Amino acid sequence: MTGAKRRNSKRHVDTALVELGRDPHANHGVVNPPVYHASTILFPTLAALESAENGTHPGPTYGRRGTTTAQALEQTVAALDGADKAIALPSGKAAMALTFATFTRAGDHVLVSDNAYGPVRMICNDLMEKFGVETTYFDPHIGSGISKLMRPNTRLVWCESPGSLTFEMSDIPAIAAEARQRGIKVGVDNSWASPYYYKPLDHGADIAMQAGTKYLVGHSDAMVGVLSAQMDDFKSLRHMADALGYHLAPDDCYLALRGIRTLSVRLERHQANGLALAEYFAKRPEVARVIHPARPDHPDHALWQRDFKGASGLFAVVLKPGVSHNAFAAFTDGLELFGMGYSWGGYESLLLPVRPEKIRSAVPWREEGKVLRIHAGLEDLSDLTHDLDMGFDRLHAHG
């Protein structure tokens, strides 16, 4: 795998998505890395066993530390992220919990963006607080002003840009510059863009996280989390992952690798459908605001334009106030192509009512209308807009 990675390192990312993590000649000509189910790994010599014990063995050493299938996924994502190494984990939430557990200890302080994925608060408020780690939530727009919140015991800054409910952008380079001066680690949840459209490590972050459940897998059939980092931080993360017994099953590793092969073409369609649906909603009289960072009317559009190479299919819509519950239910319940579900990033379109005001603390959410998070899938655009048209007709019929 190492040789293949080196040969492909200068190729275009679209080619890398197809080639990385594959070594057919080492697998009897099989195009995709086979799924290796294993717990016990046998070593042919004492020297090989000793190399596993001192961390220099190049292949798998024990099932919990990952099989050859997991190594293929980790090498692929690390290369896409521009990192030395990556760790495949059971979910995006597990990846975040591992990051917090790795870089903090009792008495420490962390900073978390107020627009971050809701379950991050469970990690901070329930788990980390229990072990003596204090959390301060900050305005996603804080930029270099984050220095005012940093303390001598601050160990980690956690960002999500854009946030996956309210889609504010953060100035990651400005935040990372302040953190670097103080030896504070910066982690970024990059699930929205994936490494195809944004690479956090190139913008100053120390840890790039993504819920591979979303765009890497792309088919709504596997739970995956991945952390990418340079070698020193990777070693710390790997050690803590071993201590906690984290690993990702080989079948899920295979599904993530399979999804990566089509990441570019899927994201192009997600982006096109997402921008077209955003424009559709912007023209609807029932809509107060569309929140999509790739649109020029987004307050943080300049940041997105500066740092990102593209947009995914996820954005939000704020309806005008006054929609009754019955009318809203008539709108949602009759939709045929937009399902209601908590994830996103798969091939299917989703529409989810969300309540940002329930989780915000540093910057209260003050929009009065109902908020819908939209994921634009890969369906035909005219079918999607027709489905929404019928939904708005039902909304008015029950108003």
Contact residues for 202 (Cβ-Cβ < 8 A; gap 6+): 82
Q: How many H helices and E strands in the chain?
A: 15, 11
Is 23 an active-site residue? no
Is 215 an active-site residue? no
Rounded Cα gap, residues 194 and 278, in angstroms: 20
pLDDT score for 28: 64
Is 214 an active-site residue? yes
pLDDT score for 384: 98
**29-85: pLDDT as tens digits:** 777 888 888 888 888 999 988 888 887 888 888 878 878 899 999 999 999 999 999
Among candidate residues 117, 137, 215, 254, the one labeled active-site is 117
- Residue 47's Cβ-count burial label (10 Å; 0-12, 13-18, 19+) is exposed
Across 89-109, average pLDDT: 97
The residue among 66 and 327 whose pLDDT is bigger is 327
Which helix (H) or strand (E) element contains residue 154?
Answer: strand 154-160
* Overall pTM > 0.95: no
pLDDT score for 7: 45
Average pLDDT for the chain: 93
pLDDT score for 2: 40
Among candidate residues 81, 108, 114, 189, the one labeled active-site is 189
Write down all domains in the chain, each with its CATH number in brackets.
2-260 (3.40.640.10), 263-397 (3.90.1150.10)
Across 149-173, average pLDDT: 97
Residue with tokens 């897998």: 217
- Give the single-character DSSP code of 61: -
Q: Is the pLDDT of residue 227 over 50?
A: yes
**pLDDT band at residue 9 using 50, 70 and 90 as cut-offs:** low
Identify each DSSP E strand in 41-126 by its residue range. Answer: 85-89, 109-113
Across 227-248, average pLDDT: 96
Among candidate residues 6, 7, 11, 64, the one labeled active-site is 64
pLDDT score for 321: 96
Is 206 an active-site residue? no
Among candidate residues 22, 185, 199, 214, the one labeled active-site is 214
Contact residues for 178 (Cβ-Cβ < 8 A; gap 6+): 144, 146, 147, 150
Across 329-351, average pLDDT: 96
Beta strands 207-210 and 134-138, pairing class: unpaired
CA distances from 369 to 116, 171, 195 (A): 21, 28, 33
DSSP string, 132-148: T-EEEEE-TT-GGGGGG
Q: Is the pLDDT of residue 201 over 70?
A: yes
- The packing angle between helices 381-397 and 263-282, to 10°, is 40
The residue among 33 and 138 whose pLDDT is bigger is 138
pLDDT score for 169: 98
Q: Is the pLDDT of residue 300 over 90?
A: yes
**pLDDT band at residue 5 using 50, 70 and 90 as cut-offs:** very low
Count of C-beta atoms within a 10 Å radius of residue 19: 16
